[in-house]
A and B are shown apart, each in its own frame.
Chain A
């Protein structure tokens, strides 16, 4: 009986503590390893994401990869980089064959692995992955000169 209680107590503590931990986690900006970029300012990042600058220095097409709607990472990026809601974003990249901007609408992937596999396959792709989930197949880019571990790093899941 006592033992059950202790297990329950620990499980409750884990369930209560984990949102706190997650909220503080940094969100890394990752690109294809062949990409020469090392640092991006938040405005540069914003332009890339909005499709306002759609070519890298080498001429490669920029492809932005986000998570599926409703996922934490997507919400954090919308808030901290786009500064838009889901609707605003949908309006920014209208559907239809005539829409030229539509070509640069962010791709939707349901997992961090999928995001990174996509970036691995597409030289001009850029995406966002929790620091804890970054794989070796992609390259992390500093933001505003800060690495994801730094205190001043601007992109964090916790920032509400």
Chain B
């Protein structure tokens, strides 16, 4: 229940009812008052009416009396005078009747007035005739007629007036009575109004007091709720505090006054330092628990005398200071700790003391030591793993080169098998057989005649053979040199250094193409060169060569499944600013799935049937070792791929743009 919300409605309702009642009562009161006033007015009118009737009685009597006077004389002068008087009274009566009718218009005496008017008119007619008769001199007739008709006619008028009078009196009596009853009603209404006012007042007071009580109850309930809540909160806080304190057994908390004397020494501190609270409280300063040597060293750094102030120097400045210290326990043993010291201040900023919260870090230090050891072990393991990786790389690269060597070996083998040396041996045998008659044999024998030509052809063939073999052997030598370089690179890697020399980037690419030339030729792959002229740079040639050989071979493999006419590899050299050389190997081959792009440099990742997932991985590593990057891009499967090697070098400023791409298409050099 909400009294405060219900109360105004109740109050408003009560007030509305009271106002309504008072309004009704007031209207009623006014009505009655109006009626009373009307009654009074009517009564006044009735009284006035009675006056008029009185006057009419007098004037009718006068008219009658003067007529009688006239009848009683013979003197024409008197007769005329009385007749005039009678007429004058008659005129008065007519005026009074008008007045009376105006006053009593619409009241129930109307009928009586009507009757009076008729009777009076009848009397007047009679009177006029009597006057005429009398004035004509026939007084006797006139008197006789008056006795016979005049008296009853006038009595009728008198009765009418009496009737009107009594009716009016009755009416006035009723009006008076009604006015009295209205007065009573008014009194009752006044009493009712008064009572209503009292009831309204009382009910308002009741409502107010009730609302006060309700409000009081509501606020009491709220206070109770608040109190309960505050108690609950206090309880919760106490719980929290005790939980914190329990948790604080893991931490040593030492509080001091501004001078440094210990005022708080919690359970954690007791456990850590081996002192009981009463041993230290207000006796020691916290520096007593510290290694004096550390205190002295810190004091020297801060430029102050050793002591408590060394510990709180930063805290005094308003900073919380956390520092590693060594606590000396009561039993003399030492324990490494981190101590956080803060100043305690009241809201006005007045220093209340300091608080030092210390945590035993011996376990952490132990863990650190273990971690360090583990790290070393890991380091060793990773070194071994790295060596294995390096070995795999070396073998891979050596394998690649050996492939070329093998091709060259096979070529040499085939050449040697098809060698013209056998022809030369046959010529030598002929010469040996005809050693005695060599001149004759050469001139007469038809075979001998062919010998000089044969010798000449064989020698030419042998020369060609020699050239081809020399070329192949050079290739082999180069490849072997490359292998040596790979091996020495590995050695240099072991020494954390590469084989860096001044070299033309172009020639490096040419070497890489050369290494792969046999298979490029075999697969009818065109090489497009788009070389921006760059000067010779200081570069790790073997790493670059290893990367490029790999990239070109990958490109070649990517093109194997495509239309032989469309197989192309674009090789680009460009410079990016003054310090980066960019080498791109772009093919029109099978492309790379977007999902594979991010794994392509991971060790062991391959999409090739016989792949090891090592070439690109080692290439990326090599690029990384040079401080550069190797990046792969592909618009998608079937749309080719671009591998971009960026190597930081020292370059002079760029001179021109790209050498034209289209006009440098050439066949790769073929081994003869």
A residues apposed to B, CB below 8 Å: 61, 63, 65, 103, 105, 107-111, 114, 117-118, 121-125
B136 surroundings in chain A (CB, below 8 A): 61, 63, 122, 124-125
B131 surroundings in chain A (CB, below 8 A): 121-122
Please tell me if the beta carbons of B76 and A107 are within 8 angstroms of each other in the complex.
yes
Shortest Cβ distance from residue B619 to the other chain A in the assembled complex, whole angstroms? 159
A117 surroundings in chain B (CB, below 8 A): 80-81, 83-84
Max chain A Cβ within 10 angstroms of own Cβ: one of B79, B84, B135: B135
A105 surroundings in chain B (CB, below 8 A): 137
Please tell me if the beta carbons of A63 and B80 are within 8 angstroms of each other in the complex.
no
B138 surroundings in chain A (CB, below 8 A): 103
Please tell me if the beta carbons of B77 and A63 are within 8 angstroms of each other in the complex.
no
A124 surroundings in chain B (CB, below 8 A): 136
Q: Which of A109, A110, A121 has a CB less than 8 Å from the CB of B132?
A: A121
* Cα(A53)–Cα(B128), bound, Å: 25
* Cα(A138)–Cα(B640), bound, Å: 154
Please tell me if the beta carbons of B76 and A118 are within 8 angstroms of each other in the complex.
yes
* Cα(A118)–Cα(B137), bound, Å: 12
23 A-B pairs with CB atoms under 8 Å apart are A61-B136, A63-B136, A103-B137, A105-B137, A108-B76, A109-B77, A109-B80, A111-B77, A114-B76, A114-B80, A114-B81, A117-B80, A117-B81, A117-B83, A117-B84, A118-B79, A118-B135, A121-B80, A121-B83, A121-B132, A122-B131, A122-B132, A122-B135
Q: DSSP class of B's interface residues: helix, strand, loop or mixed?
A: helix
Taken residue by residue from 71 to 97, chain B's Cβ proximity to chain A (1 for < 8 Å, 0 otherwise) reads as: 000001101110110000000000000
B77 surroundings in chain A (CB, below 8 A): 108-111, 114
Shortest Cβ distance from residue A81 to the other chain B in the assembled complex, whole angstroms? 19
A118 surroundings in chain B (CB, below 8 A): 76, 79-80, 135
A123 surroundings in chain B (CB, below 8 A): 132
* Cα(A123)–Cα(B136), bound, Å: 10
**Which residue of the partner chain B has the closest CB to A111?**
B77
Please tell me if the beta carbons of A63 and B84 are within 8 angstroms of each other in the complex.
no
Which 4 residue pairs are nearest across A and B when measured between Cβ atoms?
A: A107-B76, A117-B80, A122-B135, A118-B80
Please tell me if the beta carbons of A63 and B83 are within 8 angstroms of each other in the complex.
no
Taken residue by residue from 127 to 161, chain B's Cβ proximity to chain A (1 for < 8 Å, 0 otherwise) reads as: 01001100111100000000000000000000000
**Which residue of the partner chain A has the closest CB to B138?**
A103
Max chain A Cβ within 10 angstroms of own Cβ: one of B80, B132, B135: B80
B83 surroundings in chain A (CB, below 8 A): 117, 121
**Which residue of the partner chain B has the closest CB to A113?**
B80
* Cα(A151)–Cα(B83), bound, Å: 37
* Cα(A110)–Cα(B81), bound, Å: 12
Shortest Cβ distance from residue B275 to the other chain A in the assembled complex, whole angstroms? 153
Shortest Cβ distance from residue B131 to the other chain A in the assembled complex, whole angstroms? 5
Please tell me if the beta carbons of A109 and B76 are within 8 angstroms of each other in the complex.
yes
* Cα(A61)–Cα(B141), bound, Å: 15
B81 surroundings in chain A (CB, below 8 A): 114, 117
Shortest Cβ distance from residue B134 to the other chain A in the assembled complex, whole angstroms? 9
**Which residue of the partner chain B has the closest CB to A110?**
B77
* Cα(A124)–Cα(B137), bound, Å: 12
Q: Which of A107, A110, A114, A121 has a CB less than 8 Å from the CB of B137?
A: A107
* Cα(A107)–Cα(B131), bound, Å: 14
A122 surroundings in chain B (CB, below 8 A): 131-132, 135-136
Shortest Cβ distance from residue B87 to the other chain A in the assembled complex, whole angstroms? 8
Shortest Cβ distance from residue B63 to the other chain A in the assembled complex, whole angstroms? 14
CB under 8 Å from chain A, chain B span 534-562:
none
Taken residue by residue from 387 to 399, chain B's Cβ proximity to chain A (1 for < 8 Å, 0 otherwise) reads as: 0000000000000
Shortest Cβ distance from residue B638 to the other chain A in the assembled complex, whole angstroms? 147
Shortest Cβ distance from residue B363 to the other chain A in the assembled complex, whole angstroms? 154
**Which residue of the partner chain A has the closest CB to B84?**
A117
B135 surroundings in chain A (CB, below 8 A): 63, 107, 118, 121-122, 125
Shortest Cβ distance from residue A160 to the other chain B in the assembled complex, whole angstroms? 28
A109 surroundings in chain B (CB, below 8 A): 76-77, 80
A111 surroundings in chain B (CB, below 8 A): 77
Shortest Cβ distance from residue A12 to the other chain B in the assembled complex, whole angstroms? 35
* Cα(A71)–Cα(B80), bound, Å: 19
Shortest Cβ distance from residue B144 to the other chain A in the assembled complex, whole angstroms? 16
Shortest Cβ distance from residue A94 to the other chain B in the assembled complex, whole angstroms? 15
* Cα(A103)–Cα(B141), bound, Å: 13
**Which residue of the partner chain B has the closest CB to A61?**
B136
**Which residue of the partner chain A has the closest CB to B70?**
A121
* Cα(A38)–Cα(B212), bound, Å: 107
* Cα(A125)–Cα(B136), bound, Å: 8
Since A117-B80, A118-B80, A121-B131 are in contact, a sample of 4 more A-B pairs with Cβ atoms closer than 8 Å, ordered by chain A residue number, is A65-B76, A107-B137, A117-B81, A121-B83
Max chain B Cβ within 10 angstroms of own Cβ: one of A65, A109, A122: A122
Shortest Cβ distance from residue B103 to the other chain A in the assembled complex, whole angstroms? 32
Max chain A Cβ within 10 angstroms of own Cβ: one of B79, B81, B132: B132
Taken residue by residue from 209 to 251, chain B's Cβ proximity to chain A (1 for < 8 Å, 0 otherwise) reads as: 0000000000000000000000000000000000000000000
* Cα(A123)–Cα(B83), bound, Å: 14
B79 surroundings in chain A (CB, below 8 A): 118
Shortest Cβ distance from residue B95 to the other chain A in the assembled complex, whole angstroms? 20
* Cα(A3)–Cα(B84), bound, Å: 46
A103 surroundings in chain B (CB, below 8 A): 137-138
A65 surroundings in chain B (CB, below 8 A): 76
**Which residue of the partner chain B has the closest CB to A68?**
B77
Shortest Cβ distance from residue B73 to the other chain A in the assembled complex, whole angstroms? 12
* Cα(A61)–Cα(B84), bound, Å: 21
* Cα(A118)–Cα(B80), bound, Å: 6
A108 surroundings in chain B (CB, below 8 A): 76-77
**Which residue of the partner chain B has the closest CB to A66?**
B76
* Cα(A122)–Cα(B136), bound, Å: 7
Shortest Cβ distance from residue B296 to the other chain A in the assembled complex, whole angstroms? 158
* Cα(A125)–Cα(B135), bound, Å: 9
* Cα(A61)–Cα(B132), bound, Å: 10
B84 surroundings in chain A (CB, below 8 A): 117
* Cα(A103)–Cα(B128), bound, Å: 20
A110 surroundings in chain B (CB, below 8 A): 77
Shortest Cβ distance from residue B399 to the other chain A in the assembled complex, whole angstroms? 171
* Cα(A107)–Cα(B135), bound, Å: 9
* Cα(A68)–Cα(B70), bound, Å: 19
Max chain A Cβ within 10 angstroms of own Cβ: one of B77, B79, B136: B136
* Cα(A105)–Cα(B137), bound, Å: 9
* Cα(A14)–Cα(B138), bound, Å: 45
Shortest Cβ distance from residue A105 to the other chain B in the assembled complex, whole angstroms? 8
* Cα(A123)–Cα(B131), bound, Å: 11
Shortest Cβ distance from residue B132 to the other chain A in the assembled complex, whole angstroms? 5
**Which residue of the partner chain B has the closest CB to A122?**
B135
A63 surroundings in chain B (CB, below 8 A): 135-137
**Which residue of the partner chain B has the closest CB to A118?**
B80
* Cα(A124)–Cα(B138), bound, Å: 14
Shortest Cβ distance from residue A112 to the other chain B in the assembled complex, whole angstroms? 12
* Cα(A118)–Cα(B84), bound, Å: 9
B132 surroundings in chain A (CB, below 8 A): 121-123
Shortest Cβ distance from residue A107 to the other chain B in the assembled complex, whole angstroms? 4
Max chain B Cβ within 10 angstroms of own Cβ: one of A63, A103, A117, A124: A117
* Cα(A125)–Cα(B132), bound, Å: 9
Taken residue by residue from 45 to 88, chain B's Cβ proximity to chain A (1 for < 8 Å, 0 otherwise) reads as: 00000000000000000000000000000001101110110000
**Which residue of the partner chain B has the closest CB to A65?**
B76
CB under 8 Å from chain A, chain B span 401-432:
none
